[in-house]
Structure 1
Amino acid sequence: MIDRLHYISQSNAEIGHLEAIEQVLQAGGKWIQLRVKDQPENEVLSLAKAANDLCKKFASKLIINDFPRVTKAIEADGTHLGSNDINIVNARLIVGNNKIIGGTANTFADLQKRVEEGANYVGLGPYRFTSTKKNLSPILGLEGYKKIMDQVRNANINIPVIAIGGLTPEDLPELLKTGVYGLALSGILTNKNGTNLLIKQLYQELQNHPFPTS
């Protein structure tokens, strides 16, 4: 099952990926995406092994951004692929049929392609500009989500759509009205005070807005 609240790992001058992930796990996060850019695969593998141990300790899922071979090597729960990464069909050959594969989409056409390739969920965005999604365009905003999610419904597509890119908790109520399944957060959960309360509030908001099962 795809969780409705995703944490995309981030490091900065004060905190590394593993410490940031552990803080979110301790605060109640259940879905972690390890996103390490511009690093060689062997370094990502080392981080992924440690992150996987943390996620197992907290009974949470670990998704590796890109690097399907790392996903396979450490038996992570799945992999997430950006628009410039290996395609989902080829990644599936590496990780196997029992792993979760998510894909990024910026347009309805992107989303359709991800569905056709066999993605288990789609990260749609960005909602607003963010350095973690700076290569995606256009910025969708609320109106962009409304338009694309209307197209999703009209095409009878039922894949979970996760809103991504520069989101804040205040965006969630209106975004949920568009039909998205959940949201992904990064900087707002990284090394911040009050993360426990924020994650609890977000899960409560999601629970108050059940996602249709059919």
Structure 2
Amino acid sequence: MYLALAQRVKQLCETYHATFIVNDALEVALACGAHGVHLGLEDGSIAAARTVLGHDKIIGGTANTAAHLQQRVAEGCNYIGLGPLRFTNTKENLSPLLGVEGYRRLLYGQPIPIPVYAIGGIGTEDISALRACGAYGVAVSGVITQATDKKNIVHQFNQSLYGSLTDSR
């Protein structure tokens, strides 16, 4: 079931020139030819994923503390998903909530050599503050899947992130 869904999503991503990262499932990422995989702290070894996927695929990892950030850099992640900002319905076992102040404490002025994306309960109203703290970008899911007008919410995120540079698709 997950593989069939992943294959459909991959086709959509190809149509729209989007990067496709599979969450928590290395085998599915490999089988469907995804651009990469994102692994939580309990989802397996980054080194093992790199061995399986090779160096041309993207591997991201979750972090919630300064130690996790350092760990993910040392493991060779291509990017880090840091969070959660606030409560989200898309995860059952949430790490401690960071809030904007937590992002500021963990990111502002810190030399993290890979992109750090804010995750967990993010709305368009959070983007400016998160970027000011040092977040490279955001990763969202629930706010889009739960929206009645998905196209509009995606447009709002694009406007918040990129301003007038957004594609009007």
8 A Cα contact 2:80 2:117, kept in partner: yes
CA distance in structure 2 between the aligned counterparts of 1:107 and 1:125, rounded to whole angstroms: 9
User: Could you tell me whether the CA contact under 8 Å between 1:164 and 1:185 is conserved in 2?
Assistant: yes
Select 2:161's aligned residue among 203, 206, 209.
206
Partner of 2:29: 71
User: Deviation of residue 196 (structure 1)?
Assistant: 2.5
SS at match of 1:114: helix
Give the alignment's TM-score, normalised by structure 1. 0.71
- Secondary structure at 2:61 match in 1: strand
Is the counterpart of residue 52 in structure 1 residue 10 in structure 2?
yes
Structure 2 Cα separation of the partners of residues 127 and 134 of structure 1:
15
1:177 matched to 2:132? The reply is yes
Matched, 1:165 2:120: yes
1:192 maps onto 2:147 in alignment: yes
Secondary structure of the residue aligned to 1:159 is coil
CA distance in 2, matches of 1:69, 1:124: 23
Residue identity in the other structure for 1:122 = I
AA in 1 matched with 2:53 = V
What are structure 1's unaligned runs of at least 5 residues?
1-42, 209-214
Q: What displacement does 1:161 show?
A: 0.8
Unaligned runs of 5+ in 2: 164-169
Give the aligned length: 163
For residue 62 of structure 2, what is the amino acid of its counterpart?
Answer: T
- Residue type of the alignment partner of 1:207: Y
Task: Specify which structure has the bigger relative contact order, considering alpha-carbon pairs within 8 angstroms and separated by 6 or more residues.
Answer: 1
Kindly state the Cα deviation for residue 158 of structure 1 after the two structures are TM-superposed.
Answer: 2.3
Of the candidates 41, 52, 57, which is equivalent to residue 83 of structure 1? 41
What amino acid maps onto 1:202 in structure 2? F
Residue 129 (str. 1) matches residue 87 (str. 2) = yes
Q: Which moved more, 1:49-58 or 1:92-101?
A: 49-58
TM-score computed with the length of structure 2 as normaliser: 0.89
2:153 alignment partner, SS class: helix
Question: RMSD over aligned Cα, in angstroms?
Answer: 1.6
Contact 1:69 1:94 in 2 (8 A): no
Map Cα deviations across residues 158-191 of structure 1 (whole Å, 9 max, x no partner): 2111111111111111111101011111221115
